[in-house]
Amino acid sequence: MIVISTPNCEFNPLFPTVTLRDADHKFEWNRMEFQTWALQVADRYNYCVEFTGVGKPPAGAEHVGFCTQIGVFQKNTGKATQSCVSKPFDHHVYKAVYTTSYPSLQQERMLKFVLVGEVLIQVERLRLRHGRMLREQKREADTKPDSSESSPDPHLVLGAVFTEAEKDRIENSPKPFCEGDKFFVPLKRLLAYPKLLRFQVDEDKMRALISESVCLSSDGSAVVVNLHNSWDYRPEDN
Cα 195 from Cα 22, distance rounded (Å): 12
Residue ranges of the chain assigned to CATH 3.40.50.150:
2-104
**At 161, is the secondary structure helix, strand, or coil?**
coil
Read out DSSP for 72-141? EEEE-SSS--S-PPP---SS-SS-------SSGGGSHHHHHHHHHHHHHHHHHHHHHHHHHHHHHHHHHH
Q: Give the pLDDT confidence score for residue 15 in this predicted structure.
A: 79
Helix axes 108-143, 203-210, angle to 10 degrees: 100
DSSP annotation of 216 reads B
Q: How many CB atoms lie within 10 A of CB 8?
A: 24
Query: pLDDT (tens digit, 9 = 90+) per residue, 89-144?
Result: 455 567 888 776 666 777 888 899 999 999 999 999 999 888 888 888 878 877 76
What angle (nearest 5°) sits at the alpha carbon of residue 86, between those of residues 36 and 29? 25
Cα separation, 3 vs 55, in Å, equals 16
pLDDT, tens digit, for every residue of 14-73?
877 667 777 677 889 999 999 999 999 999 999 999 999 998 998 899 999 999 999 999
pLDDT greater than 80 at residue 79? no
pLDDT over threshold 50, residue 194: yes
Looking at 3.40.50.150, 3.20.20.80, 3.30.300.30, 3.90.79.10, the CATH number of the domain 2-104 comes to 3.40.50.150
Phi, psi of 85 (to 5 degrees): -90, 125
| Torsions phi, psi for 161 (to 5 deg) | -90, 130
pLDDT tier at 236 (50, 70, 90 boundaries)? low
